[in-house]
Amino acid sequence: MKTLPALVFDVNETLLDIQALTPFFTEIFGTPRAMRDWFAQTILYSQSLSLIDHYQPFGELGVATLKMQADIANVACTEREIARFQHVMKTLPLYPDVTAALTQLQDTGFRLFTLTNNAAATQDAQLQHAGIAHFFEETFSVDQRAKTFKPALKTYRDIALMIGDKEQQFCLVACHSWDIIGARAAGWDAALVLRPNNAPLSLGPQPTLIGNDLSEISRQLISRYAG
């Protein structure tokens, strides 16, 4: 019987649809594009903080980036609006392909985990709200051990230490090329899900698998590792 890699899933935008934030950003900034700008800036500054070994929880960074964005646009962003933003982040909807794909992978014998930049409490709230927490053997956050954000190599390498099985192989499932690059550099396989507004980067370490949605990724994973 083939040894299956542990599948480690990114959460925001891979499993949960961050487009649910768009109405909030449209209301505050007057354009739906503001949501994508905020997300890109939050990732940029998470990586900036990682480079200087200065860790702040991802939720705090997200709020700080939101406030910075509001200052730049010269618009008001009240504490009440920030609380609404935080609520939406914790209640992001599930992509419709997720439950069936996770069920298929679990039934095939894959061990399922998560790895997120979110704080552990935020991730717990998200997965419970989405109704998928039971699929995962363990759920990991960078704030539990690494204290540095993906795609820093330490975040992926620490997963093996926390699982405690030196022989276990790993495959990241994510929709962000920057996350794929980090996992591949750490020696993992990686499956890139082509969620809207995401695409492969032609430079650097490349994904092992690419699929248009999680259902396609699930079929490819089963064919490659269990077929």
pLDDT in tens, 149-160: 999 999 999 988
Note the pLDDT tens digit of each residue in 213-223.
Answer: 999 999 999 99
Element (H, E) at 35: helix 33-51
pLDDT at position 110, please? 97
Return the number of other C-beta atoms located less than 10 Å from residue 78's C-beta: 10
207 and 134 share a domain?
A: yes
pLDDT at position 161, please? 86
Handedness of CA 147, 176, 139, 125 (dihedral sign): positive
Average pLDDT of the segment spanning 193-198: 96
Reply yes or no on whether the pLDDT at 166 is more than 80: no
What is the bridge-based pairing of β-strands 189-193 and 170-174? parallel
60 and 72 share a domain?
A: yes
Q: Which of these three, 90, 119, 154, is where a domain ends? A: 90
Question: 65 lies in which domain range?
Answer: 18-90
Q: Which of these three, 90, 118, 148, is where a domain ends? A: 90
pLDDT band at 2 (very low <50, low <70, confident <90, very high): low
Taking CB atoms within 8 Å and a gap of at least 24, the contacts of 16-25 are 16/92, 16/93, 16/94, 16/95, 16/126, 16/130, 17/92, 17/93, 17/94, 17/95, 18/92, 19/196, 20/88, 20/91, 20/92, 20/93, 21/85, 21/88, 21/89, 21/92, 24/81, 24/84, 24/85, 24/88
Residue 30: inside a domain: yes
The CATH number that applies at residue 84 is 1.10.150.240
The CATH number that applies at residue 184 is 3.40.50.1000
Note the pLDDT tens digit of each residue in 55-109.
Answer: 999 999 999 999 999 999 999 999 999 999 999 999 999 999 999 999 999 999 9
Residue 1: inside a domain: no
Note the pLDDT tens digit of each residue in 116-154.
Answer: 999 999 999 999 999 999 999 999 999 988 899 999 999
Number of domains the chain contains: 2
Reply yes or no on whether the pLDDT at 1 is more than 60: no
